[in-house]
Structure 1
Amino acid sequence: MVEKFFATCPRGLEALLAEDLAAAGAIDIQTLPGGAHFRGEWACCYAANLNSRIATRILWRVADAPYVREEDIYKLALSVHWPRLFAVERTLRVDVTAQKSPLKSLDFVTLRIKDAVCDRFRSETGARPSVDTRAPDLRISGFLTAERCTIYVDTSGAPLHQRGLRQKVVAAPLKENLAAGILRLYGWQPGTPLLDPMCGGGTFLLEAAQIALGIAPGAHREFAFERLASFDAVLWQKLLAAAHAGEKPAQPMQIYGADRDPVAVRAALANLDRAGLLPAVELIEADILDLDAPAPAGVMVANPPYGERLSELEELAAFYPLLGSALKKHFAGWNCHFFTADKRLPKLMRLTPSRKVPLYNGALDCRLYEFRMVAGSNRKP
């Protein structure tokens, strides 16, 4: 049976999300900022959760209608036959987001949707599910536009960027699906040397190693769809077995990482070790300004610090020219990519980007800059 879904993703990666959904068997894919509507059977939903490196959540649409007041939304939620979707023993959480909704209180709308779910259960079963805002079995999402309300059941559970691999977290870690998207935007392929010289907790390294070894991003975690009444365990085990069959044993894959902070290096080592990916990556403690290229040519990807306070901005303004000089000196023949919210970076590095892509890190407006480093000077004689 074909169902309607909505997949969310980091803004700027919608085209890559559509590729993932198509690969999972989705039809009628319609992208919009931050996600894509699509249709598909449950096998498509399972496969998208399992294999998409870009999606954040896969939401199942269960109701949609125009509204004027909160009571209309209550009636819409009440019309859903919730006991057919999941057991009363399942805990739940309700979240509501809106764009240009005339209603004044989203908290009240959230409460009315929750009341409707519980009232429908009580009328059908004589019992009501419990609410758990911290670790619910299932999440119900309401989305309001100026005139319509759509109600979804989240099939993912924990956000899909949480691969279940990262143990140690450093300050301001990059989300895994954003890191995977950055790697794909510039067409990095396994076998091409890859270096993250400011690796932090190792997010780029983890994603690159999984890609190189054919490890599906959702192969080692649980999903909310496993708690739905319609869950097809046989189908899921078949998809999971196919994913595991495609995995390669961890081995050196020309993936390199470095950081000048020993705490970050230890965190990256712990994360790679926990994920069983340590043999695929070479990791050292080193400053990017002193780092030699690990191969004659390759791809560098980095997420340098942005700087929020004036003192940090001044430090970065002094650091960027040194970084530009280090790239010219040590990384001729490399394509170097920097993801940052600091739009001063190219000018202060004294390098002209060959490409720049607007992306968002949460609500933060960022740019992904590419610098093609060539031997000698770029200037014409």
Structure 2
Amino acid sequence: MTDVIDFTASCPRGLESLLAEELRALGAGTTREQPAAVHFSGSLQLAYRCCLWSRLANRVLLRLGQVRIADAEDLYRAVAGIPWEEHINPSGVLWLQFSGTNREIRNSQFGAQKAKDAIVDRLRRQSGARPEIDRRHPDLTVALRLQRDTLDIAIDLSGTSLHRRGYRTHIGAAPLKENLAAALLLRAGWPDIAADGGALLDPMCGSGTLLIEGAMMAADIAPGLLREEFGFERWLNHQSDLWMPLREEALERRRQGLERELPEIRGYDADAKVLFAAEANIARAGLEKQVRVSCRPVAAFKVPSHRQVKPGLVLTNPPYGERLGEQEALRETYAELGRQLKKEFPGWSVGIFTGNPELGHATALRSHKQYQLYNGSIPSQLLLFRIREQSSESRVEEEGRRTLSAEVEMVANRLRKNLRTTGKWAQKSGISCYRLYDADLPEYAAAIDLYHSLEGELFAHVQEYKAPANIPEEKAQARLRDLVRAVQSVLELSGKNISIKERRRHSHKGGGQYRKHSDTASAFWVDEYGAQLEVNLWAYLDTGLFLDHRPVRQYLRKLAPGKKFLNLFCYTASATVQAALGGCVQSTSVDMSKTYREWSARNFQRNNLDPYRHQLVEADCLQWLEAAQQNRRGHYDLIFMDPPSFSNSAKMRGVLDIQRDHPKLIRQCMALLAPGGSLVFSNNLRTFKMDEAICAEFRVENLPLLDRDFQRNPKIHNVWEIRRNDEG
């Protein structure tokens, strides 16, 4: 095997950047992130080290090849072309993991069967023997992933998932996976706190996973040491001379780590039964002297008094309840936790991981950072706090900041209500960017959008609407200040995390949306259904992501598998990213702005889109459509067109008026459609009326694509799907 090998490490969603950082620390060369995985390169010894030392990965895969396939016969030939006799004894035990589909291979079980036949047939031709198929203790596990028409073929070096450390034989009612627990500790800064001698406490420790993972980090214990075996140990190419020194090194580091005096690591729980499970897990991990648990309710949670304890980290994963009655009962538990933390833990850092952020707010603590993660399939948040010791003067000052006028309190109450409704809907739907407020109170005429970055920070985008002519300018500005105060109070945000746009002072003529509004602005990345998209709340009038089009992009993604896709007036090409991740085989995205083309390119690169298959074109869409009629007739299966209502940009040959010009644009797009194709046409002109001749000439269906957070404003956009009349 070559010295430099390509590998893929999989992980839970939301941990990609942490895993990439960990892999680099372990010695990986270049790394490339994709949803729930990181690609990296290095030696076989590096792969062994990652299996032994990665606290975050689920699996480590050795990539054997990547091939283009169209159907089942292509799949068979591609898999049969791998020299499997070099990887498994023909009479050994084989297991296959197959994920993904395409137009021809529509069932992963069928794909797995076809791949299994290819491997077995090749081995039987080579030796006359065939392997047994069994998922229990296989000699080789083959991992195949089909995305669009690309098949990745790999060997699973890890065996069972790496989150299964081997110490947890007893679990509580809502277990936290070990690698997710490790991620929470890393996000909360535990390694630095432990190095400084700070303690780790968990007031609702359950079966003790956070405590055990924290102790293993502090004692420099490899998370894979207790595992019975790894997948690579029965692989024909396994090199014991590389593996055994790594294991011996890990054992020595563990011995030295446990000889050191570790910080206080202690857990509590009100349920004595669950503590029996915690004690059994702690003993199996060999950490009885380092980790202690005891029965104590949250109301009695205090700093341990048996030894001098340096302020450190309180980290916990409290229950969050699935039914309303449970949630109401838990609200007091969270409130009690907040009271105890403020009273007993000044100077400590705190992390609360919950699937119900609303309960996290019941602590009455101000989180300075939030991370969006998943506990299994449940969208969750890690809320981080700092408990500060305050002088009497600073307490008076803070109380003054928290005292809101009656007007501001009215707006704050509406924001709180919306967080309980729209915010909870967004969190359950896995939506990290949404509209919280849209002129709900007419005298406070603005829209407020929330953006959760991939790094866990919360940002608010406040867009003021033009006040009625009878409202004095100074009154409108005062109301805007009140609105921002309410946002700061309810969302616990500092000024640097709030962007304010006053639309009434900006002309929309001459491409004002392209002008920078700040020279100090910084972009960040957000997640939308697995796509990572760049957002900038400060630099331009718009943010790079039209939130009202979220369900439109989702709809395009559902239509996209196997299609050739055209995106006109593509803006930052977020719709193309969704279509590509949904399975479109080729795309063209057109916009006349160099700024947006470069922004689109960053979105493409972040989501690992092949630039040869997904083309970005900087051009006037009107001129491009004219030229396209010559040589692209019937070229696209799916077209998305979202033009501005009006544009007279200097870069355009003419003036675009969407009400006047849409019949011509639609006919030009329909000429580019392949048989059976569809055009999704959108615009945001509230007075727009579809041309009657277009409705007679084509099948025109109005699509009610509007999510809950925009239903107060049903005319924010219009969306149609247009097909030829003679096609179903």
Shorter chain as denominator, the TM-score bin is over 0.9
Task: Return the match for 1:88 from 87, 90, 94.
Answer: 90
Distance 1:347 1:249, change over 3 A: closer
CA offsets 1:291-320 (integer angstroms, 9 cap, x no match): 112246221100111211233222223432
CA distance in 2, matches of 1:215, 1:81: 37
Which residue is equivalent to 2:312? Answer: 298
Which position in structure 2 is the counterpart of 1:196? Answer: 202
Using the alignment, how far apart are the partners of 1:333 and 1:101 within structure 2? Answer: 58
Is residue 2:380 matched to residue 1:374?
A: no
State the one-letter code of the partner of 1:39.
Answer: S
- SS at 1:118 equivalent: helix
Corresponding residue SS for 2:275: helix
Q: Aligned partners of 2:27 and 2:218: how far apart in 1?
A: 23
Given candidates 198, 216, 234, the residue that maps to 1:227 is 234
Counting only pairs closer than 5 Å after superposition, residues 171-210 of structure 1 correspond to structure 2 as 171-189=173-191, 190=194, 191-210=197-216
Contact residue 165 and residue 274 of structure 1 kept, 8 A: yes
**Counterparts in 2 of 1:172 and 1:100: CA distance versus 1, 3 Å:** farther
- Equivalent residue, structure 1, for 2:353: 339
| 1:202-250 CA-partner distances (Å, limit 9, x unpaired) | 1111111111111111123221111111111111111111111212236
Please, which of 368, 373, 387 is the counterpart of residue 354 of structure 1?
Answer: 368
Offset, 1:25? 2.3
1:34-73 aligned at under 5 Å gives the runs: 34-73=36-75
Query: Does the Cα contact within 8 Å between 1:289 and 1:322 map onto a contact in 2?
Result: yes
Q: Which residue of 1 aligns with 2:297?
A: 287
Q: Please state how far the C-alpha of 1:102 moved relative to its aligned partner.
A: 5.8
Q: Is the CA contact 1:252–1:281 (under 8 Å) kept in the aligned structure 2?
A: no
Task: Give me the whole-angstrom Cα distance separating, in 1, the residues matched to 2:200 and 2:214.
Answer: 8
Check whether the contact 2:79–2:118 (CA below 8 A) recurs between aligned residues.
yes
Mapping 1:101-120, distance limit 5 Å: 103-120=105-122
Please name the residue that 1:241 is paired with.
Answer: 248
Q: CA deviation at 1:380?
A: 5.0
Alignment-derived partner of residue 287 in structure 2:
277
- The separation in 2 between residues aligned to 1:30 and 1:252, in whole angstroms, is 35
Alignment-mate amino acid for residue 250 of structure 2: A
Higher relative CO (Cα under 8 Å, sequence separation at least 6) belongs to: 1
1:158 CA displacement: 1.2
SS at match of 2:6: strand
Partner of 2:217: 211
Contact 1:6 1:37 in 2 (8 A): yes
Q: Distance in 2 between matches of 1:309 and 1:90?
A: 49
Q: Assess, with a 3 A threshold, how the Cα gap between structure 1 residues 144 and 312 changes in structure 2: closer, same or farther.
A: same
Q: CA offsets per residue over residues 140-182 of structure 1, 9 Å max, x none? A: 1111111211111100001111111112111221111111111
Q: Which residue of 2 aligns with 1:268?
A: 278
Change (3 A) 1:185 1:3: same
Match of 1:131 in 2: 133
Q: Secondary structure of the residue that 1:304 maps to in structure 2? A: coil
The verdict on how the C-alpha distance between 1:280 and 1:197 changes in structure 2, with shifts beyond 3 A counting, is: same
* TM-fit CA distance, 1:24: 2.8
Asked if the contact 1:338–1:370 (Cα under 8 Å) also holds between the matched residues in 2, the reply is: yes
The Cα shift of 1:362 comes to 2.2
In structure 2, the partner of 1:77 is 79
2: CA distance between counterparts of 1:24 and 1:375? Answer: 38
Q: CA deviation at 1:134?
A: 4.0
Q: Which amino acid aligns with 1:237?
A: M
Decide whether aligned partners of structure 1 residues 340 and 99 sit closer, same or farther in structure 2, where only a CA change above 3 A counts.
farther
Residue type of the alignment partner of 1:117: I
* Cα distance change, pair 112–102 in 1 and its aligned pair in 2 (3 A): closer
- In terms of mean alpha carbon deviation, does 240-249 or 116-125 score higher? 240-249
Q: What is the identity, as a one-letter code, of the residue corresponding to 1:146?
A: R
Task: State the one-letter code of the partner of 2:369.
Answer: R
Equivalent residue letter for 2:374: Y
CA distance in 2, matches of 1:17, 1:99: 27
SS of alignment partner, residue 27 of structure 1: coil
Q: Which amino acid aligns with 2:258?
A: P
| Correspondence 1:364 to 2:383 | no
SS of the aligned residue for 1:356 comes to: strand
Gaps of 5+ in 2: 401-728
Distance 1:330 1:105 in 2: 56
Residue pair 1:193, 1:297 contacting (<8 A) in 2 also: yes
The amino acid across from 1:273 in the alignment is: A
Which whole-Å deviations, capped at 9, do the CAs of 1:312-335 have from their partners, x for residues lacking one? Answer: 222223432222222222222221
Q: State the TM-score, normalized to the length of structure 1.
A: 0.95
Preserved CA contact (<8 Å) 2:72 2:104: no
- Inter-CA distance 220–322: structure 2 relative to 1 (3 Å threshold): closer
* 2:568 corresponding residue in structure 1: none
Cα deviation for residue 88 of structure 1 reads: 2.3
CA distance in 1, matches of 2:59, 2:174: 21
Once the two structures are overlaid, the 10-residue window that deviates more, 181-190 or 371-380, is 371-380
Partners of 1:290 and 1:54 lie apart in 2 by: 33
Greater mean alpha carbon deviation, residues 93-102 or residues 136-145: 93-102
Return the alpha-carbon distance in structure 2 between the equivalents of residues 296 and 239 of structure 1: 34
Q: What is the rounded CA distance, in whole Å, between the counterparts of 1:280 and 1:164 in structure 2?
A: 18
Partner of 1:379: helix, strand, or coil?
helix
The answer to whether the Cα contact below 8 Å between 1:102 and 1:146 also exists between their aligned partners in 2 is no
Counterpart secondary structure, 2:367: coil
Instruction: Provide the aligned C-alpha RMSD in A.
Output: 1.8
SS in 1 for 2:258: coil
Provide the rounded CA distance (Å) in 2 between the counterparts of 1:320 and 1:186.
Answer: 19
